[in-house]
Structure 1
């Protein structure tokens, strides 16, 4: 607070006032300009002396500046700061200070300002850039989603987004990766995705199912053999799967099924990147990127002496765990529609899904994960006799759906109260199963804001 006595005059400080490099303007309580600094006139594009004696109200009407400070300070009776615009389009950060006389009455209003035009322009530029970056981000997200869908991958859930983010990082380097997850979650699909995004995408992608090759043929299939290596061998010999992967990616699927006596041979190839064909004496060097996958608990297998610990550490440099389908419900509906479209094209049939069918598919446990969903969708497209696929076409184990105990109609409750009780039961079960409001909304086929409102209504937390 500034207090001036009646004997104080600005004339004593004239030289000080004009020596300042800031805009300073003094008015009385009626808005009549009494004093200004030389800088003030330059800011508004006028002669400073010409402002003395004029009313700030008149100057605002003439467009010199807007809004005006004096009435705000008079009304609030305190220091006020706001942004003012001049007739030259400049933005000023103006501060007004009330000045009181010896009786404590409002006597003068002193204002000073700082030109923030460039700062305002920078702010507008940053806002524009943020909007542009958001637009580009949205376009990239759409492009990435399309690329994932083209690869047969849906990643709407947060868990799958993390998986894809890790996979993209892995694709940039040749580090060994171990993909973990239940049977049918799409481990081989993710391995192909990593390969296709890597610098080795022009090279081969060789998939070896370690659980499908007969034990007696494993070495011959994996390492190949020379002519006459054993009875029944091809006359010209055979190139093995490891050699075929040269320059590309070797994907060892179901690595947990690999017999213990073969594990040491695989470990040696991984370490040395060279091997001998069956019956051969010349080492063959090979350059491949290794990705492995299993649905087994390898730590348990190590403890039970069924899997070598040294091989495990070689494979498990970067682990990637794909969540089961039942834990990524946000991905189920997009997967359903993607598969429907694929099988429509494959079998040249036009099909639509009844909403009740989608509801049943959302509530199923999917113990076979994506592979089971693929089989179900293909069956529905092939066997459905009409364009609309209804619940009747679902397998019996899918028709059951979620069960709820219906409220008793023998009570004194109204129909509205009974319906609310049923709705609350459904929401309680959904909250327990799906946890997040987004997942609940997707599972129940409604919007997330609607679910939030209903959870608050029934006090379900």
Structure 2
């Protein structure tokens, strides 16, 4: 009776268990198995019972056999199995001994890890895709950081760029404020290229470069015979050429007061009449302006019309000077150096001390000054390495240190091979002495022993 109860209990456990349980005798013959083994191993209970684990392993029902390992090692074993149904399971088996120490049973149970393994593979694939997309995004960001000379490394310039992207699709009037040379014209063109007018003309007018006597005829054009010396066929003005496109008024603060009223009327009515003409023409254009002057102060002084100021000052964008965004300087140097190296077929590079001096400089001419300087350095310097002495603002204080380094890295004349070797050795030692704090670090950098470093420093008097 008691045996019948134990049999019922064992059967209930096997049927209720979520694990895949297999019980064998001491020789590896299957005595019992749980019903869900069919799902994992692909064989019904009646097909498993009576077969040995050797037979089942040869049939590739599971591989390797965890029970077989227990029979050999006589201790608990855990292995990863692959089954006939193509699943992956973690199998654990343990021996059962009688009172005399003889192994009479082996009980194994396994957990299906197929879904977990698939999740892991999916995760790895997703992570690989994420890394790929991140590298693609970074590449796009890097390209965006060098758009037509626009560098967006600094927080200030990123703010300007985000504002430009927001206003570009609209037809709102934008006025760029900032010092001369900060790149206001580059940003104006960027707005045009990102707008719906990008396929039409971008007409740039330097308001300070056109003589007052010619400004009206240049801006509005003229009809044939309008005045002595005029083109016989007449001529369209710059405003007319900007039809459907963008009219960029650079240095708008230089406009004479009497011409500001005429420009205001055109902006308000989007109509203009050529000099000597009688029929007004409807013109569709977007206005972008720029100035390095304080227009609000000019309004107070009476040198700039208040109504024109408010017409232009719809979206004011201030471009910070280069001295306030030193984070952009290195990238701008890289951009212009690469551009002029390609233009002139050279391979010039900036020495580290040159970069330090450029970072300390105030750049009153801003990006324009930097661009012109980089072109000059690429053309005029003889050596591949551009040293601080080539800079027009090279200071006397920095000259001694920089010249010493320049001399150190410039090949010296030697009378024989031994002297030439010593010169090279001295240059390497001086470079290591500058860059590292201890002789152990210097030794690691130079690839020699620490004692050799100490001896050579003493020999050449470098640490004196």
Q: TM-score, normalised by structure 2?
A: 0.61
Q: 2:335 is matched with which residue?
A: 338
Q: Which moves more between the two structures, 37-46 or 215-224?
A: 37-46
Q: 1:135 is matched with which residue?
A: 135
Q: Which of the residues 140, 148, 153 maps onto 1:156?
A: 153
Q: CA deviation at 1:368?
A: 1.5
Q: CA deviation at 1:127?
A: 1.9
Q: 1:435 is matched with which residue?
A: none
Q: Which of the residues 236, 259, 273 maps onto 1:239?
A: 236
Q: 2:294 is matched with which residue?
A: 297
Quote the Cα distance in structure 1 between the aligned partners of 2:298 and 2:7: 92
Unaligned stretches of 5+ residues in structure 1: 1-7, 66-74, 76-83, 95-107, 404-418, 424-461
Does structure 2 conserve the Cα–Cα contact (< 8 Å) formed by 1:93 and 1:115?
no
Deviations 1:269-290 (A, max 9, x none): 2333221222322121223233
Does structure 2 conserve the Cα–Cα contact (< 8 Å) formed by 1:353 and 1:388?
yes
Q: CA deviation at 1:220?
A: 2.1
Q: Which of the residues 246, 250, 259 maps onto 1:249?
A: 246
2:216 is equivalent to residue 219 of structure 1: yes
Does structure 1 conserve the Cα–Cα contact (< 8 Å) formed by 2:88 and 2:112?
no
Does structure 2 conserve the Cα–Cα contact (< 8 Å) formed by 1:226 and 1:236?
yes
Q: CA deviation at 1:396?
A: 4.3
Change (3 A) 1:9 1:186: farther
Deviations 1:80-138 (A, max 9, x none): xxxx87546646799xxxxxxxxxxxxx9999778635544442342232123123324
Q: CA deviation at 1:350?
A: 5.9
Matched length = 371
Q: Which of the residues 368, 371, 374 maps onto 1:371?
A: 368
Q: Which has the larger radius of gyration?
A: 2
Deviations 1:147-166 (A, max 9, x none): x2xx2333333433444444
Q: 1:124 is matched with which residue?
A: 124
Q: 2:281 is matched with which residue?
A: 284
Quote the Cα distance in structure 1 between the aligned partners of 2:301 and 2:88: 75
Q: Which moves more between the two structures, 85-94 or 324-333?
A: 85-94
Q: CA deviation at 1:188?
A: 0.8
Q: CA deviation at 1:208?
A: 0.9
Change (3 A) 1:340 1:251: same
2:183 is equivalent to residue 186 of structure 1: yes
Change (3 A) 1:250 1:224: same
1:159 aligns to what SS in structure 2? Answer: helix
Q: CA deviation at 1:17?
A: 7.6
Unaligned stretches of 5+ residues in structure 2: 67-75, 92-106, 401-432, 438-464
Q: CA deviation at 1:205?
A: 1.9
RMSD across aligned C-alpha pairs, in angstroms? 5.0
Does structure 1 conserve the Cα–Cα contact (< 8 Å) formed by 2:222 and 2:236?
yes
5 Å-filtered alignment, 1:59-208, equals 62-63=63-64, 87=83, 90=87, 116=115, 119-145=119-145, 148=147, 151-208=148-205
Quote the Cα distance in structure 2 between the aligned partners of 1:208 and 1:388: 40
Does structure 2 conserve the Cα–Cα contact (< 8 Å) formed by 1:182 and 1:295?
yes
Q: 1:362 is matched with which residue?
A: 359
Quote the Cα distance in structure 1 between the aligned partners of 2:266 and 2:311: 11
Q: Which moves more between the two structures, 153-162 or 277-286?
A: 153-162
Q: CA deviation at 1:357?
A: 2.0
Change (3 A) 1:23 1:351: closer
Quote the Cα distance in structure 1 between the aligned partners of 2:244 and 2:188: 16
Change (3 A) 1:225 1:395: same
Q: TM-score, normalised by structure 1?
A: 0.62
Q: 2:323 is matched with which residue?
A: 326
